[in-house]
A and B are shown apart, each in its own frame.
Chain A
Amino acid sequence: MLAFEKNINFTCYIECFQDIYQNNYFDMLKGLTGVRAFFAYSVIFTALVFICCSSENKKSDKVQVDMNSSEQDSLALKGIKAAKQVFYSLPSPLETAMILKRAGAVYSEEILNSADNTSRYNTNKSMALNLGIYSTDLSYASLFDQTQASIRYMTASKKMAEGLGILNAIDNSIIERLEANVNNRDVILDLISETLLNTNSNLEENDRVSVGSIILVGGWVEGLYIAITLAENSKTDNSELINRIIDQKLSLNTVINLLNQNLDNADIKSVLADVNEIKAIYDQVSISVSGVEAIPNSKSGVTTLRSKNVTSVSPEVFTKLKAKVVEIRNKYTY
């Protein structure tokens, strides 16, 4: 089974340099001098390395075949047809915030990571984790129509994205549009969705999926932290929030599979170690899912997937879970 993620293969660069040297590609530039020569050498060198390494990456992703005859071409193409792409999709910060609101969460700004903390985050890992954390805080504030907080969290997210070199994912025009639509929640949510898509696609295109995974895990941990803190402080019925916290056991495997795709990255390894500590506690939570039945509704056009989950968690396990999530989230934000 092929994974969707790709790894940067630095050995390809060495092979490309050897290839460029052996094939005398620069002979064509004999006679050029000065700025023109510098420009020409730079363009050709970049192009050759890029094309060479692109083909190397493709080789590792696809079935390798000898393309010597049309018959072999046909066989090769049949081989490619067996390939499969696998995606592990975590709830996005926007979805996390919606789940919290539907579960009866109230708005509590003091539990969020302050937008003034951005100067604390200087490493790729801390910026990626806090881009996820700020994106969840931004989505949560926006769903509760907290426009000033939304602008602050969008600005904080922009700083983290720029620090990570994700250019143009959140530009000034997004912040201006946010300020111009403070009373229009749908437009604000659409802007958040756009910035998340820009960030994710930019990282995907540039073979930086490990950074994208860390951002998602940061957002997921923040969602869990907000839910746990609100459930603890709640003076009313918090059973729905508790149910959503228990439900995260079902997302844990997705988190782990996502991180396992880039285990050669040290930051991923350390985040995975944290997630495994949460998993050790969730292993003591039991969820039994009954058979699922699809009930279409021709009037609304919305199918209901009918099933029932039976969950069981002891107060001691829940307390341990709370402590662990708070510990990890605080580690990420301080």
Chain B
Amino acid sequence: MKSLAYIAIVSIFLAASLTGGAQCKNFAKKICKQELAPYIHDGNFNAAILTEGEDAELFKTFYAGQEYRISICCEETLPKVEFKVFDVDKKLLYTNASNNYSTSWDFKVEATQQLIIVVKIPSDENNADIPTSGCVAIMFGLKTE
């Protein structure tokens, strides 16, 4: 019986280790994808577990004539996420800090160009303990004709 208890404990550890990535995928599918509506998700998966104070950069070319929605979504355990959009000369084009920390932004480009999206999980200065981690996804929606 004792041995079976050990097996059960080890199996729980195994299951817990496997769920981290799947959790992020399920979160992206169930929560983030809905936030893109009525735009259609492009199908790409840009998600990772981020910790307070960490940031992520995404490089993508946006095409003339196509209307896009960027949606940044993160688990509720994380503080408000900041996201900024820059052109290749690092000129700031958009920050959600000036828009009540909105988690999405709709835009179109007159001429095709590469943009850089920077997502930052701010540090919670009031929380001196272990920083919180959680799934953060950067998703793109495409407007259909």
List A residues at the B interface (Cβ < 8 Å): 4, 28-29, 31-32, 39-40, 43-44, 46-48, 50-51, 54, 73-74, 77-78, 80-81, 83-95, 98-99, 101-103, 185-186, 189-190, 192-197, 200-202, 204-205, 240, 243-244, 247, 250-251, 253-254, 257, 289-292, 294, 301-309
Contact = CB atoms under 8 A, between A and B. Distances in A.
Contacts of A50: 14, 17-18
A28 B3 CA distance: 6
A87 B142 contact: no
The prevalent SS among residues of B at the interface is: mixed
B145 interface: yes
B102 to A, nearest CB: 10
Contact of B109 (A43, A201, A307): A307
Interface in B3-62: 3-4, 6-7, 10-11, 13-14, 17-18, 21-22, 24-25, 28-29, 33, 40-48, 50-62
Contact of B110 (A31, A91, A197, A305): A305
Given A77-B131, A244-B63, A307-B111, A43 B10 contact: yes
Contact of A98 (B24, B64, B109, B142): B142
A89 B94 CA distance: 19
B69 to A, nearest CB: 9
B131 A81 contact: yes
Interface in B92-145: 93-94, 105-115, 123, 128, 130-131, 138, 140, 142, 144-145
Contact of A51 (B14, B43, B65, B142): B14
27 contacts: A28-B3, A46-B14, A47-B11, A50-B18, A51-B14, A51-B17, A78-B53, A81-B131, A85-B56, A92-B42, A94-B40, A94-B142, A95-B140, A98-B142, A99-B66, A102-B145, A189-B40, A196-B42, A240-B65, A243-B112, A250-B61, A257-B59, A291-B89, A294-B107, A305-B93, A305-B110, A307-B109
A90 B91 CA distance: 22
Contacts of B42: 91-92, 94-95, 193, 196
Nearest to B49: A85
B82 interface: no
Contacts of A202: 25
Contacts of B55: 84-85
A80 B89 contact: no
B130 to A, nearest CB: 7
B5 to A, nearest CB: 10
A308 B111 contact: yes
Contact of A196 (B43, B62, B108): B43
8 nearest A-B pairs in the assembled complex, by CB-CB distance: A196-B43, A81-B53, A205-B21, A200-B45, A85-B56, A247-B112, A201-B25, A89-B60
B67 interface: yes
Contacts of B24: 201
B52 A99 contact: no
Given A101-B145, A289-B111, A305-B108, A190 B56 contact: no
B106 A302 contact: yes
Given A80-B53, A254-B59, A307-B111, A51 B13 contact: yes
A197 B57 contact: no
Given A47-B13, A80-B53, A193 B107 contact: no
A294 B25 contact: no
A186 B112 CA distance: 25
A309 to B, nearest CB: 4
B72 to A, nearest CB: 12
A201 B61 CA distance: 21
Nearest to A310: B111
